[in-house]
Amino acid sequence: MARIGHMLADHVINPETETVILGTFNPRTPENEADFFYGRRRNHLWKLLPLAFGCPSLKGKSREEKMSFLREHRVDFIDLVSEVDVDNPADYDDRYIDGRVVTWNDVIGKIGKLPRLGKVCLSRKTFGGIPNMKRRIDAVRKYCGERGVLFSLLTSPARIYSAEKQAQWSAFFGGDGEGERAF
């Protein structure tokens, strides 16, 4: 077994954040080519997110350019998982790591310190094979509902980019968003 920590464990959420994108895990392994949240080649978040704000794609751009965009638009990230204990460090599929979490991130504690928080979205819509993550997501959803914070499930930015996916991301980030106000 190998203990694998989060690649961005030192990331601190900007206190001015208004929208949080909730993810699962970004492992600190040699196989992980991501330099930042959602930075893998097959992930399209850095195209979807800027286009939702009417900005050019940041896919393939520097971490500094991405951080500047996040500050300007008051968006930030937090992942559910901080550390896992796995047999195969190269496998970071959510279904595989769901039962191997050693340390969970205190998502509610961290978003609870954001006075301007108005929206939280999860970058996935399905929960098959991830019962432990689902329980934590449900707790975040309930927390948001109790505080009038919009919570939404967005189609994963991974694998393919499509006009339909862009429309969904644009609707959430571009205006009042689509989601739940109550649990």
CA dist 2 → 6, 28, 83, 99, 102 (Å) = 13, 11, 10, 14, 11
Q: Which residues contact 48 (CB under 8 A, 6 or more apart)?
A: 157, 161, 165, 166, 169
Domain 2-9+17-173: homologous superfamily in CATH: Uracil-DNA glycosylase-like domain (3.40.470.10)
Domain range summary for the chain, segments of one domain joined by +:
2-9+17-173
The 3-state DSSP composition of the chain as helix, strand, coil percent (nearest 5) reads 35, 20, 45
| pLDDT tens-place string over residues 131-141 | 999 999 999 99
Q: pLDDT below 50 — which residues of the chain?
A: 176-177, 179-183
pLDDT at residue 175, rounded to an integer: 56
| pLDDT tens-place string over residues 29-52 | 777 777 888 888 888 999 999 999
